[in-house]
A and B are shown apart, each in its own frame.
Chain A
Amino acid sequence: MTDSEQLKTTPLDALHRELGAKMVPFGGYAMPVQYPAGILTEHLHTRKAAGLFDVSHMGQVRLVGDGAIAAIERLVPGDIQALGPGRIRYTMLTNGTGGIIDDLMIARREGELGLVVNAGTKFGDIEHLNAHLPKDVKLVHETERALLALQGPAAATVLERHMPGIGKTPFMTETGGTLAGVPITLTRSGYTGEDGFELSIPAERAADIARLLLAEAEVKPIGLGARDSLRLEAGLCLHGHDIDDTITPIEADLIWTISKRRRAEGGFIGDTVIRKQITEGPAKRRVGIQPEGRAPAREGTDIQIGGKTVGRITSGGFGPSADRPVAMGYVDAAHAAIGTAVELIVRGKALPARIVTMPFVPHSYFKA
């Protein structure tokens, strides 16, 4: 999808161009990779104040019907039965070999579930869901809604000015409200490691709300470039890079997303492989990798020990807040212990690095 004429646009397309964004294709959409401030400045601004991200390319899907919870539990290893009303959970759609078709957020609502899935995978996800949902559960793809993320330590202060009381919303919950006279749905969540919100807005009002938020002194527009460096520092996976349909949640170090009940009972696609890996341990594991020097090691970099390949980097670059290169990738389980010394093969040279715990920058989620 390189021809820009084939790219879809989000409801904020004109605003991005007006703000001077550099637009790139991503997940089938023309998206802002950065604004004139640049990735480094945008990244640091988000950690210091608040950043506004257009994530309207992501898919918003409703599963309507009383059977939705039982139906989705056959497709994800996450515990959706245990999810209280108004709460949201991070989980993944798995295939028969335990691989991750996509990672997603699921919100429990009255009589339905709300899903947010990745842009590049959303049509495949919808096909997969439709193929497995029973007749009494109806899938609704909300194509006329935009999604904005307001992230950073000032996010709650900013939103509080327009939605009094909203700052008390607990982490990983969903609520409704009115912003500038527009009825919206929002969650206290995000993908930067910072406190923040994701706002689901009727498409035709999205630009008005984006402008309203950007008029606040603390808020700057942030592109996909900084979104990527923020989530990498936070140790969060990017589908298609750190996780895909050949990688299981156990290999991806996402076992924390699977409850005791779901581990014991299974009952989801890929449960045989996943439960076996929980018991026996996976052959390879996702780890944090800290290069010791200043040279970034990018996706695809070979990870070696004593000249022998033990793994590969799946996301790597420079962490503006860490102020040094950071990376994540997969290594053979035997070499996954924290502190293990490895070599990264960058342009033919072996650069020293260590296996480290993630995140690279501490999470600052809201604690009620």
Chain B
Amino acid sequence: MANIKFTKDHEWIRIEGETATVGITDYAQQQLGDVVFVELPDVGKGLERGKDAAVVESVKAASEVFAPVDGQVTEINKLLQDQPDTVNSDPQGEGWFFRIKLADIAQLDALMTEAEYNNMIQELG
């Protein structure tokens, strides 16, 4: 069964065994507005927890997307090159950013559960 976790920076990570899929949350896409460009990491790149992993650009501004955990990029979502607005229409589905091979599964314990994340965004108002 898929297990999904969240970061305080509004990324989600869905764990599927030793790999995981990463994207931004519905709350994040609402805050950004219309996404017009997504810059994804190269396949094979090593990502470090909390460091830049991707960039998402709206009409108004560019925002960094951080790696939720350490890992190596195994796949990127090519759909976002032609249809970046998929991030707005289906942020936690078709609008995923990249997949990584997890370096240290224990790092997932530090992330928020869906309930914890929902509480956090409620407090943000």
Residue numbers of A with Cβ under 8 A of B are 33-34, 38-41, 43, 225, 228-229, 294-296, 298, 317-318, 320, 325, 347
Contact = CB atoms under 8 A, between A and B. Distances in A.
Interface residues of B, number: 14
Given A33-B60, A294-B37, A294-B81, 6 more contacts: A40-B34, A40-B59, A294-B84, A318-B57, A318-B58, A347-B39
B112 interface: no
Nearest to A320: B59
B62 interface: yes
Nearest to A296: B57
B62 to A, nearest CB: 6
B60 A317 contact: yes
Contacts, number: 45
A125 to B, nearest CB: 27
A230 B6 CA distance: 36
6 contacts: A33-B60, A34-B33, A38-B33, A318-B57, A320-B59, A347-B55
B36 interface: yes
B59 A225 contact: yes
Given A225-B60, A296-B62, A347-B39, A40 B33 contact: yes
Contacts of B57: 295-296, 318
Nearest to A318: B36
B62 A298 contact: yes
- Pick from A39, A318, A320 the residue with the most CB of B within 10 Å: A318
Contacts of A228: 60
**Secondary structure call for the A interface:** mixed
A148 to B, nearest CB: 23
Nearest to B52: A347
Nearest to B85: A40
Contacts of B81: 294
Nearest to B84: A294
Contacts of B34: 38-41
Contact of B39 (A41, A295, A317): A295
B39 A318 contact: no
A321 B46 CA distance: 37
Contacts of A39: 33-34, 58-60
A240 B36 CA distance: 25
Contacts of B58: 39, 318
Contacts of A296: 36-37, 57, 62
Nearest to A225: B60
A75 to B, nearest CB: 34
Nearest to B33: A38
Contacts of B33: 34, 38-40, 225
Which 4 residue pairs of A and B lie closest in terms of their CB atoms, listed nearest first?
A40-B34, A318-B36, A39-B59, A318-B59
Contacts of A295: 37, 39, 57
